[in-house]
Structure 1
Amino acid sequence: MKPIAKNAILLVIVVVLSFGPLFIAHNAEFAGADAQASTAISTLNPNYTPWFTPLWEPPSGEIESFLFALQAAIGSGFVFYFIGLSKGKYNASKREQT
């Protein structure tokens, strides 16, 4: 199998795994630590007012969770790209020495 076809198949699998849960559980409530923290703070101090308000809030918790996961995936992509690049450079320099 050609590398381009393999990468395309892997990309389709990633997209299906990313968006699949949004379609399967479209009425589910995905609550995170932020919602739990807000509840705990309002329980401890009912008069608490936040320091600022967000510029934009996602329309649902699912989209917020998806954006958080996307941010983590992009960040890990950069990290592992540079790890792979370093490993490739190291292997190339070892081959040149022999």
Structure 2
Amino acid sequence: MKRHTKINALLLLAVAALAVFPLVFGLGDHKEEPFAGADAEAETAITEISPDYEPWFSPLYEPPSGEVESALFALQAALGAGVLAYYFGVRRGRRQGEERALAARQDTHAAPGAGGAEIHGVEVHGAHDVHEDA
């Protein structure tokens, strides 16, 4: 088993454990909404500490229901994942292109006379490419 495969398997196992752990051990059973978001938890804590607290501003857009709010959050997460995937794909593509260009450059320089003239042990490919044969 390759090292990368082992690391990926361990990461997948850790993610699965993080998802299953709260369900198996019943964490949050004592709450009315056991898996409420951090915003709802903060609002509850602030209301308990200071019941007369007035927010500084109100949201620009209030979704009509919790389902719409969840859908918008999922859309935001998907867009973020798409941007990250695009970035890493471009990075990998550039790296592979550089590796291919380097390999092609080494292949042409490895074979004397393959693409240039050889004058007294010096292979000449162009005005800027002069290499000595070893």
Interval of TM-score (by shorter of Structure 1 and Structure 2): 0.5 to 0.7
Question: In the alignment, which residue of structure 1 is the partner of 2:70?
Answer: 65
User: How far does residue 35 in structure 1 lie from its aligned partner after superposition?
Assistant: 1.7
How far 1:86 sits from its partner (Å)?
A: 0.8
Greater relative contact order (CA < 8 Å, ≥ 6 in sequence): 1
Equivalenced residue count is 70
Measure how far apart 1:94 and its partner are. Answer: 0.6
Q: Give the match for residue 55 of structure 1.
A: 60
Cα RMSD (Å) = 1.7
Alpha-carbon separation, structure 2, partners of 1:32 and 1:81: 29
Q: Which runs of 5+ in 1 are unaligned?
A: 1-28
Q: Of the candidates 58, 78, 81, which is equivalent to residue 76 of structure 1?
A: 81
- Which portions of structure 1, spanning 4 or more consecutive aligned residues, are displaced by more than 6 angstroms? none
> Offset at 1:80?
1.4
Query: Of the two, which has the highest radius of gyration?
Result: 2
Which has the larger strand fraction? Answer: 2
Question: Which one has a larger percent helix, Structure 1 or Structure 2?
Answer: 1
TM-score of the superposed pair, with normalisation by structure 1: 0.64
Could you tell me how far 1:49 is from its partner in structure 2?
0.5
> CA-to-partner distance for each residue in 1:16-58, whole Å, 9 max, x for gaps?
xxxxxxxxxxxxx884221221111101100110000112100
Aligned residues with identical type, % of pairs: 56
Is the 1:58–1:64 contact (alpha carbons within 8 Å) kept by the matching residues of 2?
Answer: yes
1:94 equivalent in alignment to 2:99: yes
